[in-house]
Amino acid sequence: MPATFNFEHVMSMLLVMGLINYIATVILTQNMIFEDVRNAIIGIGERMKERPTWAVLHDTSQVLRCRRWPLCAIGNRLDNQGSKRRDNPSRLGPRLKYLPTCPMCMGVWIGFTQAGVFGGPLDVNISWAPWIANVSMSIVANGLLFKAVGHFFIQLGAILHHTAEFMKARATHFLLLNEQLKPEDEPDELTATPNEDDLDNEARELIGSGVR
């Protein structure tokens, strides 16, 4: 941690970063805007289940026309190298297919991105370790911390959603129970009540029939 520890600053940073992590995770995993991106990643994962990794990377790089991209370089390198596992189906397919629909997985990578761009309250400083190791461990620690706060908001939203659904189902069950227990001769509230003249006329007819 920094030498000058400010509790309010750290808590406000965690709150803001957790909210950003929560909102970004929900948008990327559930929002309709990124549905095509999610379907594309799932499609790549489906192809990886039947084809080796090098073939999928090679085809993807050709479709994207990215000869200078690292993806194309990896695909071309694996294409030119033969090995015993070269034609085996990729084991990354199920993992890649699961990534765009998993809030936990997506939130972790979002947290790592947040920590790499904005930093965080945790500063790993090991004297015997190289600086790149300290920076990497700081990014991992802060990213997981941001994801933990963001996951708290995800769980809080799920609890509120389930509570609202439970109250709605309970109210519906209560209304149905009242309808079942309602007496058959009880007048319906929606029907029009008779006026005083009709009641007087019925009373006179009953009295007249009794006199006879």
Residues 127-136: tens digit of each pLDDT: 888 888 889 9
From residue 114, alpha-carbon distances to 14, 16, 55, 108, 146 in Å are 11, 11, 32, 10, 8
CA 109/CA 144 separation, integer angstroms: 9
Give the integer Cα–Cα distance in Å for 117 and 58. Answer: 30
Give the pLDDT of residue 55.
64
Q: Average pLDDT over the chain, rounded to whole? A: 75
Tokens read off for 167: 């109250």
Give me the percent of the chain exceeding a pLDDT of 90: 26
Residue 2, C-beta contacts closer than 8 angstroms, at least 6 positions apart: 121, 123
Q: Please report, as a single letter, which amino acid is at residue 139.
A: I
User: Which is higher by pLDDT, 32 or 69?
Assistant: 32
As given in the structure block, the two tokens for residue 165 are: 């659904």
